[in-house]
């Protein structure tokens, strides 16, 4: 990459692209104009433009479950919603009205029933897409939080998470949201049942019912569970779980930041959707992100991709996109059912900078793997400590520079000689201190982390995943692998409870079950 930069002084201008709410520097990647031509040709050969049209027009791209993945519909602003099929437009408008009215009630501190008290704490019970996206957004938009309520997220079936959350809360002022598209998820319902017992220890059953809301595509099941009719918020089959923060599953976000800010989040994502549909491939931010990622995975054989937000409030961003990317594109067959002969989803990992610099960046600098990275950073901060923001940004840019440019043995050697170190010692140390460079990175910048810019950032990554799925010719919208885990989990549970035998299972799993049972 040193050669590429030395050869072209306009490299930054050539690879710096702007889109709604975001600007992206692709120049520190192993790219030439030929690479871009070839990658966009690959996208054209995959009929990407037609597929983007199909996605954003609600076509049934999820061919195994025979449904659309129409999350972009949820982001179309009210005044433009007439471009949607009427039934869908009406459903979205109705759920928005319901979310808004519930937000008004909670934020005005109106008790939910005559003898009730104002709600001060909201606990979202959900997992996967019914947790990660809302939890990430709620934390990212901390500066917008309403003072009246605190939002908590409990996902794990490990009861310690629920217990540690509830130990500082009061039943009278706590509202639970059961967030489950399928209304069947073991973890969520274990937590919901424990939450009900916790409430019922202080409140009557009738009062307890007022302390639950539910976001689900199975409203009839929610009613059977005792959720009051106006506390059931529908969502639909055509919204995938990992793309559901834009639907009623976003209710905790709206409680945390207010419904007006939730709408701004949707609007920012919609701006990116419009760009995705209209910008030429080589200027299209999600398309370029997808192609550059794919370039490394399939042509440089990389297996992982680091997401490094230089914004502490985006701490959960890599977690959310672990699910979006790896659950969507962790697939081994094409839409035709034939095996893929190429790598699909990379391992997504990362945590906020600068923390990661003191953890795994050593491996990025001097390890043996090529690891593409995304550095994500705001030009401005919400924090009053402005100088610290300059340090943060300086660290971000410095890492991209050091990882790309490196420092060869001769440079290191000369530096040590300049410091007065003797030649033998300098020669001995030089290989240890040299950094090969050439680690590629993309830098994604927004002005300030607002609902709009966050909406655009999330949509950027969702569409990146879509682009890669299209080129790999896989269905990005099912998750049969996870389903198998759920089935076996139920079987093993009944074995642990002594209700069924583990006979017929492999010796390892039988041994583990027996070991557990002998220690109860
Ligand atoms: O992890 C598998 C999964 O099906 C995800 O796709 C989904 O987000 C999560 O479980 C939770 O599902 P539900 O919202 O139906 O409880």
Residue pLDDT tens, the chain, 520 long: 999 999 977 999 999 999 999 999 999 999 999 999 999 999 999 999 999 999 999 999 999 999 999 999 999 999 999 999 999 999 999 999 999 999 999 999 999 999 999 999 999 999 999 999 999 999 999 999 999 999 999 999 999 999 999 999 999 999 999 999 999 999 999 999 999 999 999 999 999 999 999 999 999 999 999 999 999 999 999 999 999 999 999 999 999 999 999 999 999 999 999 999 999 999 999 999 999 999 999 999 999 999 999 999 999 999 999 999 999 999 999 999 999 999 999 999 999 999 999 999 999 999 999 999 999 999 999 999 999 999 999 999 999 999 999 999 999 999 999 999 999 999 999 999 999 999 999 999 999 999 999 999 999 999 999 999 999 999 999 999 998 888 999 999 999 999 999 899 999 999 999 999 999 9
The residue whose CB lies within 8 Å of the most ligand 1 atoms, and thus the one to mutate among 64, 65, 130, 189, is: 130
The answer to the question of residue 468 being in a domain is yes
Residue 487 lies in a domain: yes
Q: Are residues 45 and 125 in the same domain?
A: no
Residues with CB under 6 Å of ligand 1 are 127-130, 180-182, 185, 188, 241-242, 327, 479, 482
Let me know whether 98 and 166 are in one domain. yes
Question: Which of 190, 188, 170 lies closest to 179 in space, CA to CA?
Answer: 188
Residues 330, 401: one domain?
Answer: yes
Provide the annotated active-site residues.
327, 358, 486
Q: Decide if 272 is inside a domain.
A: no
Q: Examine the domain organization and report whether 15 and 123 are in the same domain.
A: no
Out of 236, 265, 294, a domain closes at: 265
Specify whether the CB–CB gap between 123 and 177 falls below 8 A: yes
The answer to whether the CB of 53 falls within 8 A of the CB of 274 is: no
The residue whose two tokens read 């290191």 is 412
DSSP state of 367: S
- What is the predicted pLDDT for the residue at 9? 79
Are 92 and 232 part of one and the same domain? yes
317: how many CB neighbours lie within 10 A of its CB? 27
**283 and 252, same structural domain?**
no
Distance from Cα 127 to the centre of ligand 1, integer Å: 6
How far, in Å, from the CA of 462 to the mean position of ligand 1?
A: 17
Are residues 171 and 25 located together in one domain of the fold?
no
Q: Whose Cα sits closest to atom 6 in ligand 1?
A: 241
Which pLDDT value is given to residue 208?
A: 97
**411 occurs within a structural domain:** no
Residue nearest to atom 16 of ligand 1 (CA): 180
> Are 88 and 125 in the same domain?
yes
End-of-domain residue from the set 232, 265, 298: 265
**Does 434 reside within a domain?**
no
Atom 1 in ligand 1: residue holding the nearest Cα: 128
Residue 221: C-alpha distances to residues 180, 193, 469 (Å): 11, 14, 33
What distance in angstroms lies between residue 249's CA and the mean position of ligand 1's atoms?
12
Question: How many Cβ atoms from other residues are within 10 Å of residue 14's Cβ?
Answer: 14
Please give the Cα distance from 153 to 124 (Å, whole number).
5
Same domain, 249 and 291: no
Asked if residue 157 and residue 111 are part of one domain, the reply reads yes
| One domain for residues 50 and 86 | no
474 Cα to the center of ligand 1, angstroms: 20
Q: Mark 402-414 as b/e (b = at least 16 C-beta within 10 Å).
A: bbbbbbebeebbe
* Residues 332 and 340: beta-carbon distance below 8 Å: yes
Which pTM was predicted?
Answer: 0.97
Q: Whose CA is nearest to atom 3 of ligand 1?
A: 128
**Closest protein CA for atom 2 of ligand 1:** 482
CATH code: domain of residue 490: 1.10.1390
For the chain, how far is it from start to end, CA to CA, in angstroms? 59
Q: Do 157 and 23 lie in a common domain? A: no
Q: Could you give the C-alpha distances from 38 to 283, 291, 319, 447, 467, in angstroms and in order?
A: 14, 10, 32, 32, 15
Instruction: Choose which residue among 157, 241, 324 to substitute to test ligand 1 binding: the one with the highest number of ligand atoms within 8 A of its C-beta.
Output: 241
Q: How many domains is the chain built from? A: 3
What is the CATH number for 157? 3.40.50.10490
Residue 179 lies in a domain: yes
Residue nearest (by alpha carbon) to ligand 1 atom 8? 129
What was the pLDDT predicted at 8? 78
Residue 420 lies in a domain: no
Ligand 1 atom closest to residue 216's alpha carbon, by position in its atom list: 14
Question: Which of 125, 127, 214 has most ligand 1 atoms within 8 Å of its beta carbon, as the pocket-test mutant?
Answer: 127
Q: Residue 28 belongs to what domain range? A: 2-60+279-405+440-472
For residue 482, the CA-to-ligand 1 centroid distance in Å is 9
Q: Please, are residues 358 and 351 in contact by the beta-carbon 8 Å criterion?
A: no
Q: How far does residue 234's CA lie from ligand 1's centre (Å)?
A: 16
């Amino acid at each position: 990459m040193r050669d590429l930069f030395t050869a072209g002084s306009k490299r930054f201008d050539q690879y710096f692209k702007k889109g709604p709410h975001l600007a992206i520097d692709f120049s520190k990647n192993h790219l030439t104009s030929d690479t871009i031509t070839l990658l966009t040709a690959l996208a054209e050969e995959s009929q990407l433009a037609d597929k983007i049209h199909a996605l954003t027009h609600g076509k049934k791209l999820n061919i195994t479950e025979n449904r659309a993945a129409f999350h972009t519909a949820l982001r179309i602003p009210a005044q433009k919603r007439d471009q949607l099929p009427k039934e869908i437009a009406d459903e979205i408008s109705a759920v928005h009205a319901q979310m808004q009215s519930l937000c008004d009630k909670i934020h005005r501190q109106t008790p939910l029933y005559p003898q009730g008290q104002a709600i001060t704490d909201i606990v979202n019970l959900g997992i996967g897409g019914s947790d990660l996206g809302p939890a990430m957004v709620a934390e990212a938009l901390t500066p917008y939080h309403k003072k009246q309520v605190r939002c908590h997220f409990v996902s794990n079936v490990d009861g310690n998470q629920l217990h540690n959350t509830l130990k500082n809360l009061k039943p009278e002022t706590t509202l639970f949201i059961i967030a489950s598209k399928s209304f069947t998820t073991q973890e969520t319902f274990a937590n919901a049942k424990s939450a009900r017992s916790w409430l019922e220890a202080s409140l009557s059953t009738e009062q307890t019912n007022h302390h639950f809301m539910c976001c689900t595509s199975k409203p009839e099941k929610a009613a059977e569970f005792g959720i009051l009719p106006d506390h059931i918020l529908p969502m639909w089959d055509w919204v995938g779980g990992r793309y559901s923060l834009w639907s009623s599953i976003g209710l905790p976000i709206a409680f945390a930041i207010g419904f007006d800010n939730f709408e701004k989040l949707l609007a920012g994502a919609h701006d990116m959707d419009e760009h995705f549909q209209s910008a030429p491939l080589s200027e299209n931010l999600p398309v370029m992100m997808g192609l550059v990622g794919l370039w490394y995975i399939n042509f440089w054989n990389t297996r992982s991709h680091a997401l490094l937000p230089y914004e502490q409030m985006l701490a959960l961003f890599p977690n959310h996109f672990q699910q979006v990317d790896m659950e969507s594109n962790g697939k081994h067959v094409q839409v035709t059912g034939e095996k893929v002969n190429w790598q699909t989803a990379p391992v997504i990992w990362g945590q906020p900078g600068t923390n990661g610099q003191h953890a795994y960046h050593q491996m990025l600098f001097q390890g043996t793997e090529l690891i593409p990275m995304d550095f994500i950073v705001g030009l401005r901060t919400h924090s009053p400590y402005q100088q610290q923001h300059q340090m943060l940004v300086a660290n971000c840019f410095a890492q991209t520079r050091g990882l790309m440019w490196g420092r060869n043995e001769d440079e290191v050697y000369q530096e040590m000689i300049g410091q007065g170190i003797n030649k033998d010692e300098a020669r001995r140390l030089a290989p240890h201190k040299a950094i090969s460079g050439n680690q590629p990175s993309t830098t994604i910048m927004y002005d300030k982390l607002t609902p709009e810019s966050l909406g655009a950032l999330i949509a950027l990554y969702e569409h990146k995943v879509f682009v890669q799925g299209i080129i790999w010719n896989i269905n990005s919208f099912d998750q049969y692998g996870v389903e198998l885990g759920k089935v076996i989990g139920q079987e093993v549970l009944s074995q642990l409870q002594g209700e069924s035998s583990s006979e017929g299972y492999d010796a390892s799993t039988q041994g583990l079950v027996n070991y557990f049972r002998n220690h109860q």
